[in-house]
A and B are shown apart, each in its own frame.
Chain A
């Protein structure tokens, strides 16, 4: 009698696949529904932004930073601005810092809305995704009024921001926040606390705190594993120390600390905190200029520095080497998604194919941030 033989099935997921956010590719070794391993293959959106920085100069690079992470471009703007300011020792006016914080936190709301919506889409519920898009549209309106673009803002400049808030914008923003808070509750009752959603997300791919640190996970993914670390609190930058907000941590109330549900809930809770920061910032707005005097031909002294910004995808590191000329010698962005992709291969062992989708969505990876 011939013996039955089984063999591994190698699946190719992507680069065009509905649940790989952007263009990622996974080579999946599967045994039926259960995966042996999923090997990520990135680079399909490598746009050589770091090389371009060496060609276009400091001011000219600002629009490119938008494209490093198009979902929350304000933070990449801010990171680049802060890195240049640190190199050249420029002080940003206080109103400029407030404008930065307000724009960035609105962008964080928009980014997290997209993340939680995409999570819904990936596990098969289109409605939460479209509701999240509906809310995003209104944030886009506000940001468009602020800086003229919906997605790639180019709002910040080295030494501050390009424009002050338009007249009447503050009231509109506060009104939107009043509108958003119940919407988050609605979103929770539609999707987050849905029995099927909890069953799908809880206990999937937990990451221990040691692993999270060792693999250099950052931001919400790290905090979901219970590590209390937020750049805004721990290495304070901008005017964040003036605001009263909490850093939500993964509690594992639905399963294990650091599972997909914790990572997902982290985004929801951060939206609430962002809304809190925004209310305070909008109310306490000081008067004054928004942009420091920076020469057009910006030449920081030779040197190098690293800046860390708490973006929506976590701690974003900007490493800039200047040689004293008008062009940076080397720019490197260390992004949250890049690190998060590194851990997928380890976590994927023993998961089901449907869980891989959840894992990718819960780590909130964005293709341009990985590839740059």
Chain B
């Protein structure tokens, strides 16, 4: 049994079949990439996984529990974190505050009226956040305004915010979209580093084959809303069905 099981998920938007009978089984502690041409249903699938969309039929089980119908914050509290295409951070807050918020969320749950404690007095939270920042090499920027960071740093910060929660599953939505080659490579290194340091399952939705083949242990190819193939990277490269799906899309 995998950590995340998607069984028979269907989703229609009007006349369009966005997802058709999707079955996925993601094994614990692997990096699993979902690829596919534009309009294959990757984003729809991701939105189903994080509770933003409810499928017409089928089930999504995380550690044996259904995630369907739960709000994003509940799904996060179950142990699923998400990295967005463009980094979503708290731009008005300082870097360290950005990382402290997920620490509080992990310790105190979705809501707690801790109005009379002082943030500065939360030593363990501060220490936790600082360790995390050190991990991603941003400790010297701890007091900077997060909104003024470079794009690469924003990505790092977002990763740090997700990782500090020690999620069981990390969803990455095109983490290198729009990045220059150098930044992409940095991100790949960062992800590799993260993976090397801890037990974590990652699901990457990605366009860039370079990223996919650098990181993934399993790859699912999605086409027209349905999984075409699920294989190891080596076997995907020469797969005829994949070539067919990607014809003219990208050089594999």
A interacts with B: no
Q: Which residues of A contact B (CB under 8 A)?
A: none
Q: Which residues of B contact A (CB under 8 A)?
A: none
